[in-house]
Structure 1
Amino acid sequence: MPVSLEQSTPVHELARLLTGPARHDGPRYAALAARVQELLGTGALPVGTRLPAERELAEALGVSRVTVASAYRTLREEGYARTRHGSGTVTELPRTPAAAWPLPLDGEDAVNLAHAAPPASPHLLPAYTRALELLPGVLATSGYHPDGLPALRQAVADRFTARGLPTDPEQVLVTAGVMDAVGLVTSALLNPGDRVLIEHPTYPSAVRMLTSLGALPVPVPVDADDPDALVAAADVAARQSAPRMAYLMPDHSNPTGASLSAAGRRRLAATLWQQGTIALVDEVAADLELDHPDRTPPPPYAAGVPDSATVTVGGLSKSVWGGLRVGWVRTDAALTARLADVYAQRQLSVGVLDQLAASFLVADLDRVLVDRRAELRANRDLLRELLAEHLPDWTVSASTGGLSLWCRLPEGLSSAALTRAALAEGVRVAEGRAFGTGAAFDDHLRLPIVRPGAELREAVPVLARVARAVHGRADRGPSSSVRAV
């Protein structure tokens, strides 16, 4: 849980945090800077913390002032701090993620495990067949539906209501996919310099979108083994950072698969509402419970607070197909109308044929999900078996749903190095740092469960062979465990 530096003498509290172990090859100032980066990446040191004066911190740590000054300079050069006249040195995060986030590629000569994008559902073509039957009836109209096709808005509203969140069609706005919805909400409600709580790790494209708007991500750690720990951590971060917004995935979070309990989401929703923080809730994986699909799911995150406190986004990219670019926004009617005005300025309408097909799929989504869940469950179980057989020293998250497994690598194995080596052997994966801020999560790897079993059987032995080679080279190279002070 992040430590509040305001509750004790800042210099001594920061010194206590900085005396933890850190692995870094190089001089002491570099180890000190690396330790600050690590604390910022995990959320243990809040973004926006004013660092002590160089002389004060040097005395508290028992090092020279030159060491602290050099560490501060390194932090500024690498984007982890800024210094302004009269305000001292303040922590921040780099404006761009440390790791590249590869675009999805089809047809390449590699097994693609970089993206959690499943193939099309068998229910997709029948839905378009039905949509084509209705298309002649709308051809005489303009074809523009800025808010969304009425039938689709009704279907989405009905599904929210059935899940325990009463919703009218006027509270729903149709968009061209989930990330289009996220982009609409963030661009309409955020200003440059606004702080946004994010789960850490989280979806890379969301972080890139926030930073492109000039927003400042405030990471809050996610523990797949204790998902509700996010609630207390977010409470501390919200009180310290006064964020304008929080981007959350309370159901099968990407990449960890963690899900908040019913009580946890009620507490978190109430906490953020009381702090005046708008919750932007991404439900793209909310329906992908794999272990207990027949169990009554927790109510939607927004069920326990006023409609204006939460903006919920969802879509069909994971349950049906990424090529079906249909998503939605759900919030109170006044804010929905405001967002619709903003959206109309950049896009007059999502395609009518796509919306007609989506209206059938949303209305029949429970039946559609039976096949998707069975497919993902089989792939997940196979992948776990393959990892246990070929990579028994990897620690695999124990999530009950979602689209991927979040794996902790053994000490000394770099996700970035593994990613580069695996691609040379015909397996594309996304390095762990892509899912965090700064240099966090180089000791993790996300493995999607969306590819067929044959591809998983081909890829995992390659990863095992590459991991042994990369780890072996690291073991033979010079390294030392350096304490930050």
Structure 2
Amino acid sequence: MSPSLNPPALARLLGEWNLGVAPAYRELADVVRLLVLDGRVALDTAMPSERALSEALGVSRTTVTAAYGHLREQGFLSSGQGSRGRTRIPRLTALGTTVLTDPGLTTAGRTPGTTSPGLAAPEGLIDLAYASLPACGEVVHRAFAAALTELPALLPGFGYDAMGLLPLRETVAARYTAAGVPTTAEQILVTSGAQHALNIIIRALAGRQDRVLVEHPSYPNALDAIRAAGCRAIPVAFTAAHGAGTDRADGGPALAWDMHALQAAMTQQRPRMAYVVPDFHNPTGQLMPDVQRRQLVRAAAVAGTVLVVDETLRALNLDGVETSPVAAFSPAVVTIGSLSKSHWAGLRTGWIRASEAMIQRFAAARTSLDLGGPLMEQLAAAHLVRALDEPLPARLSALRDNRTALLELLAGHLPDWETARPAGGLSVWCRLPAPVSTALTVIAPDFGIRLAAGPRFGIGGAFERYLRVPFSLPPDQLETAVLALRSAQDRLDAAPQLRRTLKNAPALAIA
């Protein structure tokens, strides 16, 4: 069952659309088109009927009919039964003809250039496709030195452990218990990072064509995992609202979770599972307040949806905003954790926290992927989790400085980019003055940087007006990167035809 949009909901999204600077039908069509491009109206959404929308907006039916017709001509609305067209995004083929994107495409059917095969950045490029940090060198080295002394005790065994080493599971469980989520070692499954954890969860819970609810935008590698499993992602867009853990640099409304849309999607679609990032969301940086966490848990329970919560960035709480783990509101929540963002991605150590019965399902599903993780890394990880807070104060202090530097650089050199100040995490989600994210990504290496195009964070070509810019680099490199972004935008401004011809972003890895 595809999503639908009722007239009052669309009216709220449209806001003040009738400004009188163009024919009313053109203004209405233009705002709807921007909502689709920005991902605030999901693809394959059934639009309100002409009569119902005209009544909700207080305009003539002729105006709505003309607006819908204009959207169909541009390729943003399909021809449905009667007037219930569905949202689409057009794209150009190599022959210059326009075709409509299919929001249900699997990985094998996606547009060339949108895959992420794990390619490293060439030598000499500043890599802005990764929102990640170098290792806490001394702390990580000390943990491995201690692990080396403990390894001999494990050598007589076979070395296979699908659940993970008990000392590490006990240590992770103790962290959850201290955070207000009573947990035993039997409720923890150790994985080779958060991405591995998500793949195990999808394999255990969702089959081909099953629906998986996701935020829109969302983490690209999670979207790839959902597609690769043959599942259908059901995107729910963010909405504009004040607060929610992030302030716009220009004082305007920040993005926030649209709880009405999330609840409606669960009720209408009944997804098998939902994947959300409530803690310094990647890429928007948003932090979900506790009241919305309760609402989300309640909605998932009513719909029979397994709620999968990615807490990979939770430790990077730059402003000290207090929230409860989502699992504190329900024992049915499945939580993903990792040391990749807080300590070092090279550790490849993550975990799943769930009920004992669910962990057993995940362990059984895991054996078709691997038979367990490296023991040396798990021994070291146990030491790191026991002293999880040791490297964080200095790390968070440096990230605050980086965040301030990046926001000031963007405001100074790219003042027409709209930015938000995230309360935590590793990146800023920027709204560009024009839909040129992919074009910027294509020409960025000419200026010494590598980018992740906005559409990689969405479905069906959305977010061409957005770009994720990490502040995980030191201020001097951030300055070089922002100056390169300025130069890249200047080239596009000087040669507008590039916006139309540079359609395929290079294949790259995103973290």
TM over 0.5: yes
1:44 aligns with 2:55: no
1:365 aligns with 2:381: no
Q: 1:363 to 1:66 in 2, by over 3 A?
A: closer
CA contact (8 A) 1:203 1:435 kept: yes
Aligned residue identity for 2:258? L
State the distance in 1 between where 2:408 and 2:40 align. 33
- Which residue is 2:504 aligned to? none
State the secondary structure of the residue aligned to 1:42: coil
CA contact (8 A) 1:412 1:475 kept: no
Query: Alignment partner for residue 453 of structure 2, among 414, 417, 431?
Result: 431
Query: Alignment partner for residue 470 of structure 2, among 428, 432, 448?
Result: 448
1:278 aligns with 2:306: yes
Structural mapping, 1:190-339, within 5 Å: 190-223=206-239, 225-227=242-244, 229-292=257-320, 297-305=322-330, 307-308=331-332, 310-339=333-362
State the distance in 1 between where 2:70 and 2:326 align. 49
State the secondary structure of the residue aligned to 2:421: coil
Query: Alignment partner for residue 142 of structure 1, among 158, 165, 174?
Result: 158
Structural mapping, 1:152-163, within 5 Å: 152-163=168-179
State the distance in 1 between where 2:404 and 2:6 align. 46
1:65 to partner: Cα distance: 8.9
CA contact (8 A) 2:216 2:238 kept: yes
1:132 aligns with 2:148: yes
The superposition leaves residues 171-222 of structure 1 with CA deviations (integer Å, 9 ceiling, x where unpaired) of: 0001111000000001111011111111111101111111111211111122
- Which residue is 1:463 aligned to? 485
The superposition leaves residues 425-474 of structure 1 with CA deviations (integer Å, 9 ceiling, x where unpaired) of: 11111111111111211111111111222221211111112212212333
1:374 to partner: Cα distance: 2.1
- Which residue is 2:65 aligned to? 61
- Which residue is 2:114 aligned to? 100
CA contact (8 A) 1:193 1:216 kept: yes
TM-score, normalised to structure 2's length? 0.78
CA contact (8 A) 2:89 2:101 kept: no
CA contact (8 A) 2:169 2:189 kept: yes
State the distance in 1 between where 2:386 and 2:281 align. 24
Range with bigger deviation, 219-228 or 390-399: 219-228
CA contact (8 A) 2:187 2:359 kept: yes
- Which residue is 1:25 aligned to? none
1:349 to partner: Cα distance: 1.4
Q: 1:69 to 1:240 in 2, by over 3 A?
A: farther
- Which residue is 1:481 aligned to? none
- Which residue is 2:365 aligned to? 342
Give 5+ residue unaligned stretches, structure 2. Answer: 19-24, 55-60, 80-84, 92-99, 245-255, 501-511
Percent same amino acid among aligned pairs? Answer: 35
State the distance in 2 between where 1:330 and 1:148 align. 12
Aligned residues between the structures? 449
Q: 1:77 to 1:476 in 2, by over 3 A?
A: closer
The superposition leaves residues 15-57 of structure 1 with CA deviations (integer Å, 9 ceiling, x where unpaired) of: x98xx79xxxxxx9xx98996795386253574649989xxx9
State the distance in 2 between where 1:420 and 1:40 align. 19
- Which residue is 2:185 aligned to? 169
Aligned residue identity for 1:428? R
Aligned residue identity for 2:392? L
The superposition leaves residues 292-332 of structure 1 with CA deviations (integer Å, 9 ceiling, x where unpaired) of: 2xx5x311111112x23x21111111111111111101110
Give 5+ residue unaligned stretches, structure 1. Answer: 22-27, 81-88, 479-485
TM-score, normalised to structure 1's length? 0.82
Aligned residue identity for 2:287? S
State the distance in 1 between where 2:364 and 2:68 align. 57
Aligned residue identity for 1:238? M
State the secondary structure of the residue aligned to 1:365: coil
RMSD of the alignment, in Å?
Answer: 3.8
